[in-house]
Amino acid sequence: MNVLIIGAAGMIGRKLVERLATEGAIDGRKISRATLHDIVDAQVPAALPFQAKTVASDLSARGEAEKLVAERPDLIFHLAAIVSGEAEADFEKGYRVNLDGTRLLFEAIRKVGGGYRPRLVFTSSIAVFGAPFPEAIGDEFLNAPLTSYGTQKAIDELLLSDYSRRGFFDGIGIRLPTICVRPGKPNKAASGFFSGIIREPLNGQEALLPVSDTVRHWFASPRAAIGFLLHAARLNSEQLGARRNLSMPGVCVSVAEQIAALRRIAGDEVARRVRHQPDATIMRIVAGWPQNFDARRALALGFRADASFDEIIRIHIEDELGSSPLRAARG
């Protein structure tokens, strides 16, 4: 199997590469080579059981997508995007990267011809939905995004469905919950504080909370996200029918419940490092986000989420800090 990962330098891309390096195969098919693409060079694990090369380029530049599919990869993971806050702040860049780059990739695949029809796994977002919301959002709820990022992802979903319907590729779009706890430094996502209020206190640092602690949201750990991607790669697309995009299962909690989980695992001293500092821009963006989902379709198809937010915190400690919560919190 020849695998192409677009967005391989990002957090999810890096963890996906690491998982593939460990397993060496997908659905019983051995990986023979992989291309790791991003706007910057992706990290290549030291010991890979398959050949890998890195490509650093702008997917939205003319001709770049054609180069990536020239070797006819059997499986394509399209993870690349600029995040919600940046897409809202820079309108042109958001549409160029999140929409134009995706459309050019789809077109490059179509133009290969000769019966070429790869499996394509696309990471969409729950931002495709906009308020007002039902108590729990099912896959049948209309796409009416209230941000530029959500609009770009919604258009991508329509394109994926149509290109799959026409037989140009075998696509599946998975709407990821907000990934938490994201390791490393904060990014420009408006949702970044959801991870920050856990990550920074565990690292002995203060974290700013820009919204009310009554805000509820839908979460999955990075480990769960990798599981979603691999299951999507293996899934028999006949089970999807014409509805190629679906929302992933997750954990619905409020900010207050996040902090309570942090307190249970790491103690009062760590939880007190979260300080409320309202941010009107982030509050406005978050107010238009969905909070809870009915992911029965994804569950019926075999996708599995984290059991609780406590488990999400423990996964972060195990995978990123390599220590007990108390040692991590004290540095």
Q: Which SS3 state, helix, strand or coil, does residue 259 take? A: helix
Amino acid (1-letter code) at residue 32: S
Q: Which residue has the tokens 């972060």?
A: 316
Crossing angle, helix 192-202 and helix 255-266, to 10 degrees? 20
| Rounded distance between C-alpha atoms, residue 170 and residue 175, angstroms | 17
Contact 167, 281 (CB under 8 A): no
Q: Which of 257, 146, 165 has the alpha carbon at shortest distance from 212?
A: 257
| Rounded distance between C-alpha atoms, residue 41 and residue 13, angstroms | 12
- Decide the pairing of beta strands 207-209 and 245-247: unpaired
Q: Which SS3 state, helix, strand or coil, does residue 26 take? A: strand
How many other CB atoms sit within 10 Å of the CB of residue 232? 26
Residue 23, H or E segment:
helix 11-23
| Rounded distance between C-alpha atoms, residue 60 and residue 10, angstroms | 17
How many other CB atoms sit within 10 Å of the CB of residue 322? 9
Q: Which SS3 state, helix, strand or coil, does residue 43 take? A: coil
User: Phi and psi for 303 in degrees, rounded to 5?
Assistant: -75, 140
Q: Note the Cα 183 to chain centre separation in Å.
A: 13
**Hey, which residues are catalytic here?**
149
CA distances from 284 to 179, 214, 272 (A): 20, 15, 26
